[in-house]
A and B are shown apart, each in its own frame.
Chain A
Amino acid sequence: MPSGPAIELKGVSKRFDTFVALDGVALEIRAGELLALLGPSGSGKTTLLRIIAGLEWPDTGDLLLGGESAVRRGVRERQIGFVFQHYALFRHMSVTENVAFGLRVMPRNRRPAEGEIRARVQKLLDLVQIGHLGDRHPGQLSGGERQRVALARALAIEPSVLLLDEPFGALDAKVRKELRRWLRQLHDRLSMTTVFVTHDQEEALELADRVVVLGRGRIEQVGTPEEVYGAPSNPFVFDFLGQVNRVRCQVRGGRPIVPYAHIEQLNGDPSRDGPGTLYVRPHDVILARDPAGPATVRFVGVVGPVVRLEIEVVMGAPVLEAELPNHVYAGYRFAAGERVSVRFRSATLFPDIAAGPEELSPADLSLLSASL
C-alpha cells in the first residue's frame, strides 16, 4: 500500500457569513486508508468533505491532491467520487443509466465505446451486488439499494478518492449495520482512499482506519479508533466519544483528590494544583458491596448484555454511571439502596484552566453548580 498523503489540507478555513465552518484545519490523508470525519452537527465535517471534492472553496489555506494544489481545479477535473447523503440519484434514469452517466459525459476522445460502457456498468453493479436491478428506476429501490447505486455511480469514473457524506444516515439500523460491514470489505478489496463523514461514533470507530474528530471547525484529535476512544486528547473528544462521567476534583500535590473513590490508574497531567475534572468511562467505575461505603446504588437497569447502574455519592456529588457486563453483575446482584464503595479503574484528569469559559457546555455548568 502506498504511504504518501493522497490528500493534504493546509490551514483550511471557511466561513459562511458569520458562521465559522472551518478554522485552520490541517490534515494529511494517506493513500488507501479509510478515514472517518467524526463530529457533531455544525462541526464543519461536511464542509471539509465538500472542499476536498471541489463543491466548496476554502477562504484561506491549500488543498493538495496527490501532491499538487487542487484549489484552482474545478470539481469536474478532480475526478473524485462523491456519494451524497441522500444519494442524489437521477430519478428519470434507470439504474444502469445512472451508473453509466459519468462515462457517457466524458469527452469523445476519452469516452469508452457503448459496449464497453455497458460491460463496465454491469461489472460495477455486480460489485455492489445489485447486478439484477439494472433496469429499475431509483424510485423502485429501497434505501440500501439506492446507496449501492450511488456508490457504483461514483466508482464508475475510476476516482482517485472516494468521499461519502453520512453514507448510512438515511438508512434504518439493521441495513446500516449490514452496509457498514459491506463497505469495509469493499474498501479492503479496492484499497481506494476513502473519506466518510459521520456523526455516529460507533460507525466511525467500527469502520475507519483512522478517525478525525472535529468540533466547531477545528480538528480535536486524529488517531486510530483505539487511540481516540482509549486516549482522548481533550475533554471534547472524551465527551463526544462514548459515555463518560465527569468528576469534579481538586488537584493537590500531584494528585486529584476525590474523597469517595479510589483511583487506580491516573492519566493526564496532575502537576498543576487547582480545580480539575476527571473523566471516567462507566465501565471503569468499579463497585463493591460495602455497608460503610460512601455511595448508594440508586438504579439498576439491565440493557441486554450490559447492566447500567446509577450511583449516588453521599456527599452531594452528582450521580455516577457504572456499567458492567451482565455475567459479572450476576456475581454481585446489587439492589437499589445498597451501600457500595467506588473505584475508578482508569481516570483521565484535565485541569480546568485549560478549558476556557466559553468551552463549558450547559452540562458542565450544571455539574459545576452541583459540586459547589
Chain B
Amino acid sequence: MQPRSASTVLLDRAPWLAHDYARRLENDREGFASGARGEALVLTRAPDPIGALEPDRAAPSARRTLSWRPRSIIPGFGLTLGITLAWLGLIVLIPLVALFARAASLDASQFLDAVTSDRVLAALRLSFGASLAAALTNAVFGSLLAWVLVRYSFPGRRLVDALVDVPFALPTAVAGISLTALYAENGWLGAPLAALGIKVAFTPLGVFVALVFIGLPFVVRTIEPVLQDLPAEIEEAAACLGASRWQTIVRVIVPSLFPALATGVALAFARAVGEYGSVIFIAGNLPMVSEIAPLLIVIKLEEYAYGEATAVASVMLLISFVMLLAINLLQRWSRRHLERS
C-alpha cells in the first residue's frame, strides 16, 4: 500500500471500499490468522459475517450499513451493540415474553375476567395510585433534601447524606417491620396519630408511607449532581433582577432541575410499583382496601392460578411501561433546549 496519511485514506471513499472488499475476501481465504489485519482494514464499518461468507451480497450490504451509520474513529459499535442486545434479550426481553406467553394461555374472555374483577382493579388502583402519590411526594421532599445537602454545610451533613441511602440498603422486609411497629396503633408514631383519628398501619395510607420510604433515595440521588452543577450565579442573577426567593425557585430552579426530577420520579415510581417486601407488613392486605397488586399476584400463584397471575402481571407491566414512557417524553420535552448547547 502507498504510504498515505490517515485523513486521505478516510477521504477518498469509493476506491477504498473496493480495495477493502478485495482485502476482505483475501482474509477469508487466509483464514483466522489474518484476522487482526482484516479488522484494521475494515475499521470504518461493521463486520458483516453474512456478506463475508457470500461475496455476492457483501458489497451492497456494506454500502447499506454505511448509509445509516456515520463513520467514526471510535471502533467497536457492532460488537458492543451486539452484546448489549443479547444481554438485554436474555435478562429482560425473554422473561417478559415468557410472561406474556403464559398470560396467553388464557383466552380473551378469561383474561378480561381475570384483570377486571373488582378485587384486581382495586389492587391495581392502589398500587399505581399510591406509587404515584409516593413518587410525587418524594419529588417535593427529596428535592428539598438534595438542596439542603448540596447548598449548605452544617454539622452532621455527612451523616444525613449517608442516611439518605439507608432505604437502598435495608432489606425491604426489615423496613416493613420497623414501619409497622412505628405506625401501629400502639407504636411511637401510630399512637399519637391514632389519638388524632388517623390510622396509618393496615390502611392504604400505610402503603403510601412505605412507598415514600423506599423511593426517597432515587429522587435525592438523581437531583443531587444536577443541583451541584447548577451555578449559584443564576440564583443571584434572579435576585438582582428583583425576583423573590419563591419566584426564583418556581421560575428558575425547578425548570432547570426538571429533567433530573422527572428521572428521579420515574425511578421512585417504578421502584414503588414493584415494591413488595415492605408493603405487605404495613398494609394489612385487606382485599379491596389495602391489598397491592404484586401481593395479589403472589396470592394467585399460591392458588395455582398461573394464568390469572400472569394476566395481572402483564397488565401491570403495560401500565408501568406507558407511565414510564410518558415521564420520559416529558423529560425529553423539558430538556430540548438544554441539550443544544
Contacts and interface: CB of A to CB of B under 8 A. Distances in A.
Interface in A87-132: 88-94, 101-102, 104-106
B26 to A, nearest CB: 49
Nearest to A97: B251
A88 B341 contact: no
Given A84-B233, A88-B233, A139 B240 contact: no
Given A91-B337, A91-B341, A76 B242 contact: yes
Interface in B39-91: none
A101 B240 contact: no
Contacts of A156: 241
A123 to B, nearest CB: 17
Contact of A75 (B239, B334, B337): B239
Contacts of A55: 236, 239-240
Given A105-B242, A105-B251, A88 B340 contact: no
Majority SS of interface residues in chain B?
A: helix
A91 B256 contact: yes
Nearest to B250: A105
Contacts of B231: 86, 88
Interface string A58-77: 00000000000000001110
A187 B242 CA distance: 23
B236 A79 contact: no
B341 A140 contact: yes
Given A76-B243, A86-B233, A88-B233, A139 B238 contact: no
A367 B305 CA distance: 94
Interface string B227-240: 00001011011111
- Could you say which interface size class chain B belongs to? 20 to 34
A355 B200 CA distance: 75
Contacts of A75: 236, 239-240
A346 B334 CA distance: 64
A54 B233 CA distance: 13
A137 interface: yes
B338 A139 contact: yes
Contacts of A86: 231, 233
Contact of A140 (B240, B243, B252, B340): B340
Contacts of B239: 55, 74-76
A90 B252 contact: yes
Given A84-B236, A88-B236, A91-B256, A101 B241 contact: yes
B247 interface: yes
A154 interface: yes
B251 A53 contact: no
A139 B233 CA distance: 17
B255 interface: yes
B244 interface: yes
B234 A88 contact: yes
A89 B256 CA distance: 11
A282 interface: no
A89, A90, A105, A106 interface centre (most CB from chain B within 10 Å): A105
A79 B337 contact: no
Given A84-B233, A86-B233, A92 B255 contact: yes
B338 A92 contact: yes
Contacts of A104: 251
A157 interface: yes
Contacts of A140: 340-341
A157 B236 CA distance: 15
B237 A92 contact: no
Given A79-B242, A105-B244, A106-B242, A91 B237 contact: no
A80 interface: yes
B341 A101 contact: no
Nearest to B257: A92
Contacts of B256: 90-92
Contacts of B234: 88-90
A153 interface: yes
A89 B252 CA distance: 10
A101 B243 contact: yes
A82 interface: yes
Contacts of B339: 139
A104 B252 CA distance: 13
Nearest to B237: A88
Contacts of B247: 105
Contacts of A225: none
A91 to B, nearest CB: 6
A161 to B, nearest CB: 11
A167 interface: no
A154 B240 contact: yes
Nearest to B248: A105
Nearest to B338: A91
A81 interface: yes
Contacts of B241: 101-102, 105, 153-154, 156-157
Nearest to B230: A91
A138 interface: yes
A81 B241 CA distance: 7
A262 to B, nearest CB: 54
Interface of A: 53-55, 74-76, 79-82, 84, 86, 88-94, 101-102, 104-106, 137-140, 153-154, 156-157
In the complex, the 9 A-B pairs of residues with the closest C-beta atoms, listed nearest first:
A139-B341, A102-B241, A88-B233, A88-B237, A137-B337, A105-B243, A82-B240, A92-B255, A139-B340
Interface of B: 231, 233-234, 236-244, 247, 251-252, 255-256, 258, 334, 337-341
13 contacts: A55-B236, A55-B239, A75-B239, A79-B242, A88-B231, A88-B233, A90-B252, A91-B256, A92-B338, A101-B238, A139-B341, A153-B237, A157-B241
